Chains A and B, each alone.
Chain A
Amino acid sequence: MKAEGIQAAAWLLIAFPLLGAAVLLLGGRRTDRWGHLLGVAMSLASFVVGAGMFVQMLGYDDAERRRTLHLWNFFDVGSLHVGMDLLVDPLSISFVLLITGVGSLIHIYSIGYMAHDEDRRRFFAYLNLFVAAMLLLVLGANYVVLFLGWEGVGLASYLLIGFWQFKPTAAVAAKKAFVVNRVGDLGLVTAIMLMFATFNSVDFTTILGTGTEHLGLAAKLSSGVATALGLLLLLGACGKSAQLPLQSWLLDAMEGPTPVSALIHAATMVTAGVYLIVRSAPIFEMSPDAQLVVTIVGAATLIAGAIIGCGKDDIKKALAGSTMSQIGYMTLAAGLGKAGYALAIAHLIAHGFFKAGLFLGAGSVMHATGDDVNMRHYGALRKLMYVTYGTFGLGYLAIIGCPPFSGFFTKDGIIEAAYNKGGTSGAILGTCALVGAGVTAYYMSRVMFMTFFGEKRWQEDVHPHESPKVMTIPLILLAFGSVFAGGFLVLGGFSDFLAPVVGESEEHGFNPFTAPGIATFVLMLAGVAIAWRQYGARPVPVEAPAGSFLTRAARRDLYGDAINESLLMRPGQWLTRLAVWFDNRGVDGAVNGIAAGVGGTSGRIRRVQTGFARSYALSMYLGAAIVVAALLVVNVS
């Protein structure tokens, strides 16, 4: 159905922040004085439009909630028709509210956080660009428009990680994030190619259908093609969402300013992979193999991220490990099929609130301690930063899954759904998720205790202080989300809201008094208790101890970089050098040598320029001969 009313103006959602970015980037220094205000205003304007669209949607029946909007013909060739089309449905509107809501709060927070940066205007331009691209990603009505947003957020992420370009580490991290993401993009692009070859279409409506009543062509897929498509999409998702084996960029991405870590690398962009999988549900449902791989990737990443989170002394990196791990939960849920989609998105939204709150809280702490990120230099901050402590604490309770905070509802659901999958795989996946919950409680308690409890460990010249209101008010609002979002979504019928898009989940109701539910609770308490014994009850050394094998591995991101370096980077460098040598010496030089031999001027050819007419004549013909010979050899018939 066509979009009407406010929804027909869905393009405004994207246009506002895009306009903001354009004005701020093209306006240059002239806009320095009010640039940040324009940035906030544009983000808020999007939120208002988004909220209006949401209210309008609530007035529709389930069957009428899927609305499309055709903006213009992007490109048409032969049977390939790609429109600049937007899709407004319960799934995309959920993301719209998350992106513009949390995004606006983070914009406001950044006014204070970036107040002393001379390039604050540029920062807001990039933030606006990000919001526009992220909205395009979730609103796109075909895979090409989705990809437009997908790469747009990648660009914004690149620009923001490298915002402090003068720091070499930031410049390297930005490039790494983009390149690793491109490996994932390779999967997405190949999936788009395969979709066109299979369906002659890249449209959601044609491929995925318009809900359970009207199936798309995906329902006719053979399991082989479905598996291929699923795995290719998963590769794309792994890149964007920092899932194994493409996780390595996320920890380095913490080089960016903290609001960026909160918005892009925790609340929204990194969850785009989960969106992609849930959106493509009809494809995955045709291939149990692909779904199984999704769950395995999710489970492995949730464990790996949690372990990394345990070993980090850098507060942002500890939180980044945690983000990896939490997205692992979402991926796991998304791989469980109908039983998991709504849970994945609910956890995604709840996580958006509490993780944004945690990151912004970490930013507030850094603001107070002179941009120190080492938790071993914190301690006892609760006495000086009440608001930050309180809001961070609520986020902490939410993420460890303490009842009745957000994470309790969403994470417990995922653990239970994993066990309910049944069979060996269900037991293994469920146990991974269960153990992960315990480890989560441990590493988050560690962060909490090292930062806010114990004795003060900061230097003499550091004078911690509470952050200004423009930063603390967003913290308070996000804390509300940390407390209530999970319960509101799970108990408030979010899965029914999403059902027209992803189908009905067989499970209804929420019951924490099951075996997995109780085990989760016990493990959570155990995690907190162990952390308290290690970091709360006794003083934290300012210098990090050597640590066990596992701690050392966790500090080095489980050797992810070392593996990439030895498997990809080094061989790549050698290959590049070899190719350059070959091109200079081989292709040109071999011929030079032959020419020299023929001409009897060996050895002098490089210095005597008269030789090169002959040598290039020959090299040209050699090249041509290779082409001709290959043609003749391959195609003798």
Chain B
Amino acid sequence: MTDFPWLTVLIALPAVGALLVGLLPRENESLAKRAALGISLVEAVLAIVMTTAFKVGGDRFQFTEKYWWIKQFGVHWAVGVDGVALVLVLLSVILVPLVIIASWDEAGRSGGTDAAPPKRSAKIYFALILALEAMMVGVFAATDVFLFYVFFEAMLIPVYFIIGSYGGPQRSYAAVKFLLYSLFGGLLMLVAVVWLYPLSQEKLGHGTFMFEELNKMHVDGMTAKWLFLGFFVAFAIKAPMVPVHTWLPDAAAQSPAGALVLVVGVLDKVGTYGMLRFCLELFPGAAKWATPVVLAFAVVSIVYGAVLAIGQVDLKRLVAYTSVSHFGFIVLGIFAMTSQGQSGATLYMVNHGFSTGALFLLVGFMISRRNSARIDAFGGVQKVAPVLAGTFLVAGLSGLSLPGLSTFVSELMVLIGTFSRHRLPAVLAASGIVLAAIYILWTYQRTMGGPAREEVKGMPDLSLREKVAVAPIIAIIVAMGLFPQPVLKAINPSVKEGLARVEVHDPAPKITGNVAENGARP
């Protein structure tokens, strides 16, 4: 089965599916939903089957395919995954069917809050979700930098339409803001990508965009710094990091909750994934040069994002700001350039996808009940809808890195990995654990605690459909909290190779060896 073009199929299936769903008759919404769900489930099963064929410790990139695409410019349709890309592909394909289930009734209705816009076509919504899925798999699977860039930019289109057509009252404002931020970042990256071509001609003798060839180029000097910046700024916007984060809260506030799971849970990971893969491995010298400043911005993102989350009155904006804080941790781990930091950061990408995904889904369920995303529209929900409150608490506790739930392991690894090389940033970042407790538990207290408000009293608990959407994520959060090792086994070798490319080693411990036996303690 190793010759089977796994990744091309995984990209093509939802892409074709999106077209099919889009072409279905508009009247038969239910058929479109079922088709979309069916396709996404087949996709998830295929990806899981592929994962079982992945050989940990084998070649770095597996399931590789390589065909000429634009021969004149050395562009290939080249795909393949290493451990890091694999777990992110899995994250994407597992979340999509759950998002479709969660959006079953909400899609086409307003994803917004107070004033409902006119009813929109549900089938197009699901078609866009599938299109987005194809591009998410593509962006993680691409091993040709130009192909990566194409997916990177193409992802914007479905998201733009999802926010712009299915969002809240200020959806067009948010959609354009999202598009412009992303496009400008993308343009900077385009310059850098195109620059790679003559550079590879010069260094390698033939022009190429193949990642595995480019990372042998040893670019340095000013060129490397400019190229690094071109990639980095694009990724920092996508991630997003302070100070280029302001598109996210607006996009979050207006976007339908289901799509938000994919935008924040997966799409934004392309930013941090890109930093780990391209910024570090293609331009190791420049990455080291930039490290102090990047670490500083990462720490600022952690603290600033968390403080802002505390101050929000809108649930979706709040979760968006918590993500800014979490992305700070991920960037910190990547640029700590230790194996613990980078494996932790990669694991963090996966864990954050699930725990924030669960939070957004639950927030979406809450909004659909009250037609408002404001925290003060709720209160005392625990009494009337205990299952909703309980799952919200579990997802929230994972967000605040409670040990035993998934995020903890990754956050601890990032902190340990950062501290072993950079003491101060790690200690400052650790303050995030106090702030996280405040923004999650204060939110829980105000929405779920206290006496039930009049408007909340008739609120139904989670329906079966909603439970089906959120239960698998909760199960994953608990399982990954206690058994992260299988995932780490896939991630570690890739991180190790990446670090070897950057030519850094983990710092040695201060105290080693054995203490003489029978030695007296002073």
- Give min CB distance, A224 to chain B, whole Å: 11
Q: Is the CB of A192 within 8 A of B412?
A: yes
Which A residues, 575 to 599, have Cβ-Cβ distances below 8 Å to chain B?
575-577, 579-580, 583, 587-588
Q: Is the CB of B427 within 8 A of A190?
A: yes
- Give min CB distance, B173 to chain A, whole Å: 6
Question: Which residues in A have their C-beta under 8 angstroms from that of B417?
Answer: 77
Q: How long is the Cα–Cα vector from A194 to B341 in the complex, in angstroms?
A: 15
- Give min CB distance, B512 to chain A, whole Å: 7
With an 8 A cutoff between CB atoms, is A630 at the interface?
Answer: yes
Q: Is the CB of A616 within 8 A of B312?
A: no
Which single member of B180, B292, B488, B511 contacts A221 (CB below 8 Å)? B511
- Give min CB distance, A13 to chain B, whole Å: 17
Contact with A along B293-310 (1 / 0, CB 8 A): 100110000001001101
Stretch with Cβ within 8 A of A (4 or more), from B41-49, B146-154, B445-453 = B445-453
- Give min CB distance, B159 to chain A, whole Å: 16
Q: Is the CB of A186 within 8 A of B433?
A: yes
Q: How long is the Cα–Cα vector from A78 to B247 in the complex, in angstroms?
A: 37
Question: Which residues in B have their C-beta under 8 angstroms from that of A179?
Answer: 434, 437-438, 441
- Nearest neighbor of B431 in chain A, beta-carbon distance: A186
With an 8 A cutoff between CB atoms, is B25 at the interface?
Answer: no
Which single member of A75, A182, A189, A577 contacts B437 (CB below 8 Å)? A182
With an 8 A cutoff between CB atoms, is B161 at the interface?
Answer: no
With an 8 A cutoff between CB atoms, is A546 at the interface?
Answer: no
Stretch with Cβ within 8 A of A (4 or more), from B15-23, B57-65, B236-244 = B236-244
Which A residues, 224 to 243, have Cβ-Cβ distances below 8 Å to chain B?
225
Q: Is the CB of A620 within 8 A of B244?
A: yes
Q: How long is the Cα–Cα vector from A197 to B243 in the complex, in angstroms?
A: 31
Question: Which residues in A have their C-beta under 8 angstroms from that of B56?
Answer: none
Q: How long is the Cα–Cα vector from A626 to B484 in the complex, in angstroms?
A: 37
With an 8 A cutoff between CB atoms, is A178 at the interface?
Answer: yes
Q: How long is the Cα–Cα vector from A295 to B415 in the complex, in angstroms?
A: 30
Q: Is the CB of A75 within 8 A of B484?
A: yes
- Nearest neighbor of B310 in chain A, beta-carbon distance: A576
Q: Is the CB of B451 within 8 A of A166?
A: yes
Stretch with Cβ within 8 A of A (4 or more), from B3-11, B198-206, B268-276, B401-409 = B401-409
With an 8 A cutoff between CB atoms, is B265 at the interface?
Answer: no
With an 8 A cutoff between CB atoms, is A609 at the interface?
Answer: yes
With an 8 A cutoff between CB atoms, is A510 at the interface?
Answer: no
Q: How long is the Cα–Cα vector from A111 to B460 in the complex, in angstroms?
A: 31
Q: Is the CB of A189 within 8 A of B415?
A: yes
User: Given A76-B485, A200-B509, A616–B420 Cβ distance below 8 Å?
Assistant: no
User: Given A583-B246, A609-B173, A178–B437 Cβ distance below 8 Å?
Assistant: yes
Q: Is the CB of A196 within 8 A of B420?
A: yes
Q: How long is the Cα–Cα vector from A454 to B180 in the complex, in angstroms?
A: 78
- Give min CB distance, B291 to chain A, whole Å: 9
- Nearest neighbor of B441 in chain A, beta-carbon distance: A175
Q: How long is the Cα–Cα vector from A178 to B517 in the complex, in angstroms?
A: 42
With an 8 A cutoff between CB atoms, is A199 at the interface?
Answer: yes
Contact with B along A604-618 (1 / 0, CB 8 A): 000001001100110
Q: How long is the Cα–Cα vector from A197 to B418 in the complex, in angstroms?
A: 10
A-B contact count (CB 8 A): 244
- Nearest neighbor of A74 in chain B, beta-carbon distance: B485
Q: Is the CB of B312 within 8 A of A631?
A: no
User: Given A198-B509, A200-B512, A619-B246, A193–B415 Cβ distance below 8 Å?
Assistant: yes
Q: Is the CB of B416 within 8 A of A213?
A: no
With an 8 A cutoff between CB atoms, is A557 at the interface?
Answer: no
With an 8 A cutoff between CB atoms, is A390 at the interface?
Answer: no
Q: Is the CB of B415 within 8 A of A168?
A: no
Question: Which residues in B have their C-beta under 8 angstroms from that of A196?
Answer: 340, 416, 419-420, 509
Which single member of A212, A612, A624, A635 contacts B293 (CB below 8 Å)? A635
With an 8 A cutoff between CB atoms, is B118 at the interface?
Answer: no
Which B residues, 476 to 507, have Cβ-Cβ distances below 8 Å to chain A?
482-485, 488, 492, 495-496, 506-507
Q: Is the CB of B307 within 8 A of A575?
A: yes
With an 8 A cutoff between CB atoms, is A45 at the interface?
Answer: no
- Give min CB distance, A112 to chain B, whole Å: 24
Q: Is the CB of B246 within 8 A of A75?
A: no
With an 8 A cutoff between CB atoms, is A80 at the interface?
Answer: yes
User: Given A76-B488, A78-B339, A587-B243, A579–B515 Cβ distance below 8 Å?
Assistant: no
- Give min CB distance, A245 to chain B, whole Å: 15
- Nearest neighbor of A144 in chain B, beta-carbon distance: B412
Q: Is the CB of A78 within 8 A of B340?
A: yes
Contact residues of B: prevailing secondary structure: helix
Which single member of B246, B292, B380, B444 contacts A635 (CB below 8 Å)? B292
Q: How long is the Cα–Cα vector from A74 to B310 in the complex, in angstroms?
A: 32
Which single member of A77, A198, A575 contacts B339 (CB below 8 Å)? A77
Which single member of A150, A174, A635 contacts B290 (CB below 8 Å)? A635
Interface centre among B289, B434, B507 (most CB of A within 10 A): B434
With an 8 A cutoff between CB atoms, is B185 at the interface?
Answer: yes
Q: How long is the Cα–Cα vector from A198 to B416 in the complex, in angstroms?
A: 11
Which single member of B312, B383, B430, B521 contacts A165 (CB below 8 Å)? B383
User: Given A182-B434, A623-B244, A580–B311 Cβ distance below 8 Å?
Assistant: yes
Q: How long is the Cα–Cα vector from A613 to B304 in the complex, in angstroms?
A: 26
Question: Which residues in A have their C-beta under 8 angstroms from that of B452?
Answer: 166
Q: Is the CB of A190 within 8 A of B430?
A: yes
Which single member of A25, A148, A194, A286 contacts B403 (CB below 8 Å)? A148
Contact with B along A563-576 (1 / 0, CB 8 A): 00000000000011
Q: How long is the Cα–Cα vector from A179 to B382 in the complex, in angstroms?
A: 20
Q: How long is the Cα–Cα vector from A212 to B517 in the complex, in angstroms?
A: 9
With an 8 A cutoff between CB atoms, is B188 at the interface?
Answer: yes
With an 8 A cutoff between CB atoms, is B172 at the interface?
Answer: yes
With an 8 A cutoff between CB atoms, is A627 at the interface?
Answer: yes
With an 8 A cutoff between CB atoms, is A469 at the interface?
Answer: no
Which A residues, 268 to 319, have Cβ-Cβ distances below 8 Å to chain B?
282, 285-286
User: Given A76-B488, A152-B403, A186-B433, A171–B449 Cβ distance below 8 Å?
Assistant: yes
Q: How long is the Cα–Cα vector from A216 to B312 in the complex, in angstroms?
A: 48
With an 8 A cutoff between CB atoms, is B184 at the interface?
Answer: yes
Q: Is the CB of B308 within 8 A of A583?
A: yes
Q: Is the CB of A216 within 8 A of B311?
A: no
User: Given A198-B510, A628-B229, A189–B515 Cβ distance below 8 Å?
Assistant: no
Q: Is the CB of B311 within 8 A of A165?
A: no
Question: Which residues in A have their C-beta under 8 angstroms from that of B310?
Answer: 576
Q: Is the CB of B521 within 8 A of A197?
A: no
Q: How long is the Cα–Cα vector from A631 to B294 in the complex, in angstroms?
A: 8
- Give min CB distance, A306 to chain B, whole Å: 29
Interface centre among A219, A220, A579, A626 (most CB of B within 10 A): A579
Q: Is the CB of B416 within 8 A of A80?
A: yes
Q: How long is the Cα–Cα vector from A78 to B508 in the complex, in angstroms?
A: 11
Q: Is the CB of A165 within 8 A of B246?
A: no
Q: Is the CB of A155 within 8 A of B412?
A: no
User: Given A80-B413, A214-B517, A583-B246, A628–B430 Cβ distance below 8 Å?
Assistant: no
Q: Is the CB of B488 within 8 A of A75?
A: yes
Interface centre among A199, A200, A216, A626 (most CB of B within 10 A): A200
Q: Is the CB of B308 within 8 A of A213?
A: no
- Give min CB distance, B377 to chain A, whole Å: 17
With an 8 A cutoff between CB atoms, is A519 at the interface?
Answer: no
Q: Is the CB of A186 within 8 A of B430?
A: yes
Supplied contacts A75-B488, A168-B449, A587-B243, 15 more A-B pairs, CB within 8 Å: A75-B413, A77-B339, A77-B413, A77-B417, A144-B403, A148-B403, A165-B380, A179-B438, A186-B431, A194-B419, A220-B515, A579-B307, A583-B246, A627-B293, A635-B290
A and B contact pairs by CB, cutoff 8 A, 12 listed: A147-B403, A166-B449, A185-B433, A189-B415, A190-B419, A190-B427, A192-B416, A197-B423, A197-B507, A583-B246, A620-B185, A627-B229
Task: Identify the B interface with A (CB < 8 A).
Answer: 172-173, 176-177, 180-181, 184-185, 188, 225, 229, 232-233, 236-237, 243-244, 246-247, 289-290, 292-293, 296-297, 304, 307-308, 310-312, 338-340, 343-344, 380, 382-383, 387, 390, 397, 402-404, 408-409, 412-413, 415-417, 419-420, 423, 426-427, 430-431, 433-434, 437-438, 441-442, 444-445, 448-452, 482-485, 488, 492, 495-496, 506-513, 515-519, 521-522
